[in-house]
Amino acid sequence: MTLIKSISGIRGTIGGPAGENLTPLDAVKFTTAYARLMTRRKAGKKLTIVVGRDARLSGELMANLVKGTLMAAGADVIDVGLCTTPGTEMAVIAKKADGGIIITASHNPRQWNALKLLNAAGEFLSDAEGKEVLALAEETQYDYPTIDNIGHLAGCEDFNDEHIRRVLALPLVDVGAVRKRRFKVVVDAVNSVGGIVMPRLLRELGCEVVELNCEPTGEFAHNPEPLPENLTEISEVIVREKADLGIVVDPDVDRLALVSEDGSMFVEEYTLVAVADYVLSVKSGNTVSNLSSSRALRDVTQRHGGSYAASAVGEVNVVAKMKETGAVIGGEGNGGVIYPELHYGRDALVGTALFLTYLAKKGMTMTALRATYPAYFASKNKIQLTPAIDVDKVLLEIKTRYAGENVNDTDGVKIDFEECWVHLRKSNTEPIIRIYTEAKSMAEADALAQRFIAEISEICAL
């Protein structure tokens, strides 16, 4: 059982001892700390906070704890209910709220949940703000407001249809072109909130929709991380239904994975690549992804005459780098598309609408479009952490051993070799070391990963 406090929020498993898991006491503790931070930012004036959640089993329980705690801390609450992470982010802006809390553990299994903390721009708190929340949470003395100053439930409002409307209104989303193609699409929403919004969006785009795991029960039909090994069912359904493509989202709908008409993976890394290819074909500019993302985005960006930059892993870091470089499109290689014209957040709905527009305009099949991009192969591995593993020591030793190579230590250690790369870092969301590699073939990527797994094991044994 685990409680992880990081740039990605407060994340943990439900039940067990307080302080070691995400228990009611922990939910109250960290929500109170967040409310205190936001009250300081507003110089003590009344707060309004948006709260949304995905459909996981503990969602209602956690939402009630969070909403009650916010009101006890003096904040008014706008409850958007079952809502995607990007939808909740957009609701903060639309409602002119002071912040937001999204109750979701994203791709983590059913026993997990988390509090994702937003600022008034509907973006994740900065690293410094996150650390301030953690410090405030450790303070034992805090007086809650008296009865005349408690908060209230300011509204219960669904934001999903508004999210869809805003996506369809974007100039680069050509609804007519997509409707003309009459795509047949299989959707796997892993029985979470994506099952509410994604079929609606696709039907507005004139698609024939085959729903798979679209009941928002919170009983995930498979491991919710949209990786190839978890997507065998949708591959079979696509072939059987003679569909044009498959769309897979994680429980909070900020990641988008695509499956081709023959049941093969378009590959999660290439979601952003294809969307960026479309955006850059219409609007010149720069792109950003994180250090663990494919070189393919760099290649496509340079082909369009733009500049590519890499950030540390974490949406807040990607967003900061996008603003710094004026990027017109960006995101993460896990299928997270960030399109600033809508909002600064990973958004599977806008990714879907832009991708289908491009596919319609190109008049290609999924496999044909995929073949137009540089062929890179990624291997994503991990090592479970134990108290005996000193991650900083491991990474420092790797950095020292490869000092003669092109090494980037912005976030963990990334080593760029001429024909491949490896990125080693401690996860923000799980008690693991992530080992990501990329090469010109799957065999080379896997071999590179195994080489570094062996080196890490050797270092740990020293």
- Active centre residues (catalytic): 106
Tell me the two tokens of residue 137: 């949470």
The full DSSP string for 395-444 is HHHHHHHTTTSEEE-SSSEEEE-SS-EEEEEE-SSSSEEEEEEEESSHHH
- How far is 213 from 196, CA to CA, in rounded Å? 11
Say if residues 200 and 207 touch (Cβ distance below 8 Å).
no
Q: How far apart are the first and last CA of the chain?
A: 28
Q: Using the structure block, give the residue that is written with the tokens 């795509």.
A: 183
Phi/psi at 171 (nearest 5 deg)? -55, -35
Question: What are the b/e assignments for 381-403, b being 16+ CB within 10 Å?
Answer: bebeeeeebebeebbebbbeebe
Query: Nearest-5° angle of CA 259, CA 264, CA 269?
Result: 60
Helix 127-137 × helix 24-41 angle, to 10°: 120
- How far is 456 from 449, CA to CA, in rounded Å? 11
Pairing outcome for strands 208-212 and 184-188: parallel
Question: Letter for the amino acid at 91?
Answer: A
Say if residues 8 and 428 touch (Cβ distance below 8 Å).
yes
Q: Using the structure block, give the residue that is written with the tokens 């082909």.
A: 303
Beta bridge partners of 286: 327
Question: What are the b/e assignments for 130-139, b being 16+ CB within 10 Å?
Answer: bebbeebbee
CA 396 and chain centroid, separation? 28
- How far is 197 from 213, CA to CA, in rounded Å? 13
Q: Which H or E element spans position 286?
A: strand 286-290
Q: Using the structure block, give the residue that is written with the tokens 């039940």.
A: 15
Query: Nearest-5° angle of CA 395, CA 309, CA 378?
Result: 60
Burial class of residue 459 (count of CB atoms within 10 Å of its CB; 0-12, 13-18, 19+):
middle
